[in-house]
């Protein structure tokens, strides 16, 4: 099971952050060449990200590059650099429809062929940042075999909706979260929640994490390393959950061995979805430990 709980944003223009962020051990890092980089720093940021990707600094951590949109003067240059440097995935901002992914897919395939990379090596993520993107989420999520995830970007979305961002309990993102999550599940890919911008509000951050974990999101985009440990711990199963899951698996194995079609545990019927959920809990515990 590939863990993608944390995707840490790293501004491509910040050399100090690029060269040290691996020590915090996020599941994924996203080198940002778009909003976090000013126009006058676009070229230098692209060069720095290219060189850091060519090192072993982020070995064992999934590397993602957020490029500028392809209809800007920077998008194709960013894409060339990301693929030639060996980034694991490219994240396309402001994805409004499936055609955006089709165009990106074609350009990625062209660059892979030109530089001798295995065709299909570079994976894709789409950032949903508008009402159109939310409405088209299913077609976006299924637009390419390269797709590994879709992410909701809350700030641009609430502006497009003429709303404003509240805390995790507010309703302004609820429909968009559900739409993006359902699209990801229909496509068999991962779903990432929005960033939580107040890095000093641990309680608010964890409240939002609890919400998106219960909804079913695989993880969350992050803007500060101090949020990583909080997020990973919140996503780890509890000792009680692990204990119960082990008993479910044992009961299922015993029933199969004895040729019994009906499984009961503690007086309750256990069906296939519950067994599958128990397996996922144990996989998560093996990968991330027990919640503290």
Dihedral sign of CA atoms 144, 189, 231, 209 in order:
positive
Lowest mean pLDDT among 30-39, 146-155, 262-271: 262-271
Q: What is the pLDDT of residue 45?
A: 98
Q: What is the mean pLDDT of residues 203-212?
A: 94
Q: Is pLDDT at 63 greater than 70 in this prediction?
A: yes
Q: Is pLDDT at 169 greater than 80 in this prediction?
A: no
Q: Is pLDDT at 262 greater than 80 in this prediction?
A: no
Counting residues of the chain whose pLDDT is more than 90, the rounded percentage is 82
pLDDT tens-place string over residues 75-113: 999 999 999 999 999 999 999 999 999 999 999 999 999
Q: What is the largest CA-CA distance in the chain?
A: 70
Q: What is the pLDDT of residue 211?
A: 94
Q: Which two tokens stand for residue 171?
A: 């309703």
More confident residue, 257 or 151: 151
Alpha-carbon gap, residue 178 to 208, rounded angstroms: 14
Q: What is the pLDDT of residue 57?
A: 94
Domains of the chain: 6-235 (3.20.20.60), 239-288 (no CATH)
Q: What is the mean pLDDT of residues 58-65?
A: 96
Alpha-carbon gap, residue 125 to 140, rounded angstroms: 10
Alpha-carbon gap, residue 205 to 29, rounded angstroms: 19
Q: What is the mean pLDDT of residues 137-141?
A: 98
């Amino acid at each position: 099971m590939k863990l993608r709980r944390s995707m840490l944003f790293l501004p491509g223009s910040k050399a100090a952050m690029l060269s040290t962020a691996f020590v915090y051990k996020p599941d994924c890092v996203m080198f940002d060449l778009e909003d976090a980089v000013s126009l006058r720093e676009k070229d230098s940021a692209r060069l720095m990200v290219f060189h850091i990707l060519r090192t072993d600094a982020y070995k064992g951590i999934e590397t993602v590059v957020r490029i500028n949109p392809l209809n800007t003067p920077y998008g194709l240059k960013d894409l060339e650099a990301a693929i030639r440097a060996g980034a694991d995935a490219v994240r396309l901002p402001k994805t409004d429809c499936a055609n955006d992914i089709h165009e990106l897919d074609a350009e990625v395939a062209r660059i892979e062929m030109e530089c001798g990379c295995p065709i299909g090596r570079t994976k894709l993520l789409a950032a949903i940042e508008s009402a159109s993107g939310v409405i088209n989420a299913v077609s976006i999520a299924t637009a390419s075999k390269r797709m590994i995830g879709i992410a909701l970007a809350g700030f641009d979305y609430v502006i497009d909706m003429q709303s404003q961002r509240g805390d995790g309990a507010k309703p302004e993102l609820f429909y968009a979260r559900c739409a993006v999550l359902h699209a990801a599940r229909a496509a068999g890919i991962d779903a990432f929640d929005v960033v939580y911008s107040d890095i000093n509000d641990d309680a608010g951050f964890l409240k939002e994490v609890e919400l998106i974990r219960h909804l079913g999101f695989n993880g969350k985009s992050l803007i500060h390393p101090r949020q990583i440990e909080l997020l990973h711990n919140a996503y780890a199963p509890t000792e009680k959950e692990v204990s119960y899951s082990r008993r479910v698996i044992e009961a299922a194995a015993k029933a199969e061995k004895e040729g019994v079609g009906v499984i009961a545990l503690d007086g309750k019927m256990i069906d296939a979805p519950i067994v599958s959920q128990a397996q996922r809990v144990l996989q998560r515990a093996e990968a991330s430990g027990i919640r503290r």
